[in-house]
Amino acid sequence: MNALERDIAQLIIDTLALDHLRADDIDPDQPLFGQGLGLDSVDALELALALQNTYGLRIADSREARHHFETVRSLALYVEDQRSHA
């Protein structure tokens, strides 16, 4: 897990009050929804807001967001991509 992935995992923990987890407990390729970490649509909204506030992202298209919110790794790649276009 790289530094950005660890930061995003910690952001997930802090935002969603998953105090029973540590950032290193979340595999960067583990699905965030369903059988993975078990997040739901409300969690996705809270996480999207936290990502926007922390990284200055703009998540506009829900279909696009669904792809980026699959794993910690996909979120990190999205953040990196957005930073390179800023």
Q: What is the pLDDT of residues 34-84, one digit of tens each?
A: 889 999 989 998 999 999 999 988 776 667 778 889 999 999 999 998 888
- How far apart are alpha carbons 32 and 12 in whole angstroms? 10
Nearest CA to 55 out of 81, 22, 25, 28 is that of: 81
pTM score, whole prediction? 0.91
Please name each of the domains of the chain with its CATH number: 3-85 (1.10.1200.10)
57 CB-near residues (< 8 Å, 6+ apart)? 51, 78, 79, 82
- How far apart are alpha carbons 15 and 38 in whole angstroms? 15
